[in-house]
Chain A
Amino acid sequence: MTGYIIRRMLQFIPVVIAATLIVYAMVFLMPGDPIRALSGDRPMSPQVLETLREQYNLNDPFLVQYAKYMWGVFTAGDFGTTFQGRPVLDIIQQGLPITVTLALVALSFQIVIGVIAGVLAAVYKDSFLDRMVQVSLVIVVAVPTLAIGFLLQLTFGLNLEWFPIAGTREGLVSYVLPGITLGAVSTGIVARMLRSELVEALQSDYVRTATAKGMRRSRVVVRHGLRNSLIPVVTFLGADLATMLGGTVVVETIFNLTGLGGQIFRSIQAQENTVVVGIVTLFVLFYVVLNLVVDLLYAAIDPRIRYD
């Protein structure tokens, strides 16, 4: 098991290098000169220009720039500074809690609502309830995130005044609407996935054995059906949590949250390359670690899966 984890960690290295290299290349090969953009319309003396370029290693060849940057990240945790001189780490530290909270709220919404809807639909297969669940899931998946966000703001924020409309000032409660918006699409997918898996599991021989023991239907479903149906759902949720970090761009904008998603969007516009690369590097690390966690979760769910 430990050996397996170490092997997987070693596999991270090429993945992280490849992913960050691509991002680095894309960002730095973008047209336009960030230093000139910094000064706007005013002319800038060649000396100042040169000093700034030197300071941000902009005169080095691309690969050297990249190597210097990565060296800084992994030896000193130094993600560089913005062109205004603010440390990128500072920006990350400010935005990360917001984005992570948002993602976790969305994830819990997916798990709770998705699993409940999926189980109900599977247990009462082909009933009115099942149809209702299926139809509402299709609607949720089909309506764009943007529309869901505005709809929630309007209904629960503006009209009912149950939840704050925007910002994070009211703590966890302010994440409810953004979280639902962010998790809505995946909730539909989780529920449909779980439904089909569970329907299959409920027809299996071991569920018949459990029924023949005289167990209550509800207990049979939860104890014998559900756990066997969770593997694909866990796979999906793991991959989805990473995708959600990308989805935060839209949601953070709608709800005016100052998380990393909004930050990355603004930084691309402002050609703040170090910030973009810093955040993306973080996301890549997050993604690979999450994948490992998902794989380890498999083994926890299904004892037949062994890593050695």
Chain B
Amino acid sequence: MSADSSQVPTTQDPATEQTTATNPWLPAVLSLIIPGLGQMAVLKQREFGLKLLIAWLVIAVGPTMVMMPLRISGTDVNRGAVTLADTVALAGIGIGVLIAVFAAVTAYRTAEPVSEAVAAERAADAAEQPALSFQNVGVSFNTEFGTVDAVKGVSFDVMPGEVVAVVGESGSGKSVTSAAAMGLIPQNGTVTGRAFLNGQETTTMDAAQLRRLRGSEVSMVFQEPMTALNPVLKVSDQLVEAMQVHGVAFGKDALAKGVELLELVGIPDAKQRIHEYPHQFSGGQRQRIVIAIAISCNPSMIIADEPTTALDVTVQAEILDLLRRLKHEIDTGILLITHNMGVVADMADRVVVMFQGQVVESGSSEEILLQPEHPYTRRLLDAMPTLHQKGDVQGVSAKDRREAAQPTTAPEQETVIEGKNLALAYRNNRGKPVRVVEDVSFAVPKGEILGLVGESGSGKSTIAKAVLGLLDVDEGELLIRGRNLPALKGAERKVARREIGVVFQDPAASLDPRFPIGDIITEPMVVHKVGSPKDRKARAAELLEAVKLPAGVINRFPHELSGGQRQRISIARALSLSPSILIADEPTSALDVSVQARVLEMFAELQEQYAFACLFVSHDLAVVDQLADQIMVLEKGRVVEQGHKEQILRDPQMGYTKRLLAAAPVPDPRQQDERRAARQQLWEAQGLTAT
């Protein structure tokens, strides 16, 4: 803009001013469009061209726009300061930067094939070179309580095409170790020792070098498929970007490859479904998508951190089959982090057992699982609840022993809780009931445990909710000691609810963090106005003893306790009113196996002592086998099979029950091989496609 035109009176509309002889926008806009289109044409990459457009906009046009108001309305001093010359100069700088960026990107792109040659060279001597190698790796964190050594000098290798399982309980450092290899340690952590990926030392790399490795040479599969994908981006976007980041494929090519990948991991109708959002897929399918993303750049190493822990057993079996198949097809090494010995037996070639940041034992999976040497390994294996096979008599549960001691469980025992043709419904956002459970009947006498078994979405937790009165009964009767709970009103309902105690899955979330333990345990008594404060305190102490916690915790807060201890508090709270019914919704699923074993043992003892009837919801057949008297198998809100434990688990009649039983892995590699073959046969016999 010339000095003349800036003399225009300030009252004039800026729009008309723009039309005067020297319009700075025209060259700016043109110089914006031309390079952008040029990029698109040259690189045939729409996205990259767009990116340059935006960068260009920011660099060249941004300042011009900022200057505009000064030119239009500034004082005499600065009105002349910004002229066309400035705009041109800024545009010049912009073009310069643009060329520099273009040159850099081109250089980077052309440099790629060289690294491929190196990769080929590497592949040649890959046979003796481990895909991933840890040499005396240690990780420590600076916390407000001082330095914590999470990993203390860990060394092991993963060869190409090999599955190494790292086993240990929470806090053993197994996840931190793998994160150290990827450079994903939080800022307050320090890594010592050396980790190598295909011979490249990752522990000394800078952020950009690590980024180049992530996703291309080593990728990760995480535990929680429900949250691992971005809910607001389409699956196609998330798959394609993984390839574009590493320059594997762009645009349409990337999309086509994405469809191929989804087909490879067993997503039906991949071509259409790739354009859907993550929430439109089931948990198992989402994990398949995460795996598809992980293998999109043909990594030589996959780190799978508890990849099947959040999944149902049948889905777990399928995902493990998928990983096994992919391992053969693309020949990657897999570092499998898990706490489930059954998964280890199913997948692993070698096992590394970690305990408190150290490797206590390592070896082939047969050695470790069948002849464990270290006491910790043995303890882990013993703690794992086992599902007894047909004619397998060595494992006798506490309950069985009790039954043996008292030959007949008296048939005249009072039925405490009974459901008659229950139909349960949620209300949708327009208030219409949507049935999720249909025609379920059960009766649990005093002192018995009914195990509710099924996969997610089977309605097992819904039934527990209905018994708690948290959900409307749409049809049928729910009798608590002979009284129909849904029909009760006000005070009567409250009295009936006193009979019901509950333990939820997540001990961390089900205790109010601001309440001291004593108050947590006695809160049900306060709600139902039972006893004086002194009585309540005595009751709390008594219950703490019953759940085998020291009396001192009464004044502590939940965050000061471990997961297992917190779950014991939940159980103590559930028992504070001496209920005749206990609802346990996956009470041990969030706990480590050794902790689970102790909590289950305690649970059995308490049940004997207090003789409550119990609805025990679990996805783990082995846990149910250990505790339950009767079992009800549910699928999609309907009862598949129902009856005595021995009959259901040892002689199942229905296909679904058989599938559930076949899918549960056992911690014995040889047996698991047979079971896997048998399961795949069963799948085929039932007309299901095995992946």
Residue B211 interfacial (CB < 8 Å) = yes
Contact of A171 among B72, B232, B233 (CB under 8 A): B72
Give A211 to B70 CA distance when docked, in angstroms.
Answer: 42
Per-position 1/0 for A112-133, Cβ under 8 A of B = 0000000000000000000000
Chain B contacts for A209, CB-based, 8 A: 220, 222, 228-230, 238, 290, 293
Interface size on A, residues (CB 8 A): 32
Residues in A69-121 with C-beta less than 8 Å from chain B: none
* Minimal beta-carbon separation of B6 from chain A (angstroms): 14
* Minimal beta-carbon separation of B242 from chain A (angstroms): 5
From B9-17, B406-414, B508-516, the one touching the partner chain is: B9-17
Residue A304 interfacial (CB < 8 Å) = yes
Give A210 to B241 CA distance when docked, in angstroms.
Answer: 9
Chain A contact residues: helix, strand, loop or mixed: helix
Q: Which residue of A lies closest to B10 (CB)?
A: A170
| CB within 8 Å for A206 and B231 given contacts A162-B70, A169-B11, A215-B211 | yes
Q: Which residue of B lies closest to A304 (CB)?
A: B279
* Minimal beta-carbon separation of A301 from chain B (angstroms): 7
* Minimal beta-carbon separation of B197 from chain A (angstroms): 13
* Minimal beta-carbon separation of A87 from chain B (angstroms): 27
On whether the beta carbons of B279 and A213 are closer than 8 Å, the reply is: no
On whether the beta carbons of B231 and A212 are closer than 8 Å, the reply is: no
Give A302 to B10 CA distance when docked, in angstroms.
Answer: 45
* Minimal beta-carbon separation of B7 from chain A (angstroms): 15
Residue A53 interfacial (CB < 8 Å) = no
Residues in A276-308 with C-beta less than 8 Å from chain B: 301-304
On whether the beta carbons of A213 and B219 are closer than 8 Å, the reply is: yes
Contact of B214 among A206, A212, A227, A302 (CB under 8 A): A212
On whether the beta carbons of B220 and A228 are closer than 8 Å, the reply is: no
On whether the beta carbons of B230 and A224 are closer than 8 Å, the reply is: yes
On whether the beta carbons of B230 and A228 are closer than 8 Å, the reply is: yes
Residues in A148-174 with C-beta less than 8 Å from chain B: 161-164, 169-174
Give A161 to B10 CA distance when docked, in angstroms.
Answer: 13
* Minimal beta-carbon separation of A47 from chain B (angstroms): 48
Residue B268 interfacial (CB < 8 Å) = no
On whether the beta carbons of B72 and A214 are closer than 8 Å, the reply is: no
Contact of B233 among A211, A215, A224 (CB under 8 A): A224
Contact of A176 among B69, B222, B233 (CB under 8 A): B69
Residue B371 interfacial (CB < 8 Å) = no
* Minimal beta-carbon separation of A297 from chain B (angstroms): 13
On whether the beta carbons of B246 and A302 are closer than 8 Å, the reply is: no
Give A163 to B69 CA distance when docked, in angstroms.
Answer: 8
Residue B103 interfacial (CB < 8 Å) = no
On whether the beta carbons of A212 and B216 are closer than 8 Å, the reply is: no
On whether the beta carbons of B246 and A214 are closer than 8 Å, the reply is: yes
Residues in A181-235 with C-beta less than 8 Å from chain B: 204-206, 208-217, 223-224, 227-228
Residue B476 interfacial (CB < 8 Å) = no
On whether the beta carbons of A161 and B75 are closer than 8 Å, the reply is: yes
Q: Which residue of B lies closest to A161 (CB)?
A: B75
On whether the beta carbons of A213 and B277 are closer than 8 Å, the reply is: no
* Minimal beta-carbon separation of B630 from chain A (angstroms): 38
Give A164 to B11 CA distance when docked, in angstroms.
Answer: 11
* Minimal beta-carbon separation of B279 from chain A (angstroms): 5
On whether the beta carbons of A173 and B72 are closer than 8 Å, the reply is: yes
On whether the beta carbons of B211 and A216 are closer than 8 Å, the reply is: yes
- Interfacial residues, chain B to chain A (CB-CB below 8 A): 10-11, 13-14, 69-70, 72-75, 78, 182, 184, 207, 211-216, 219-220, 222, 224, 227-233, 238, 241-242, 245-246, 277, 279, 290, 293
Q: Could you list 7 examples of A-B contacts with CB < 8 Å? A: A162-B78, A171-B13, A209-B290, A213-B242, A224-B233, A303-B231, A304-B279
Q: Beyond A206-B227, A213-B242, A228-B230: 6 further Cβ-contacts under 8 Å?
A: A161-B75, A172-B14, A173-B73, A209-B222, A209-B238, A212-B182
When A and B form their complex, which 8 residue pairs have the shortest distance between CB atoms, in order from nearest?
A214-B215, A214-B214, A205-B227, A213-B215, A206-B230, A161-B75, A212-B220, A173-B73
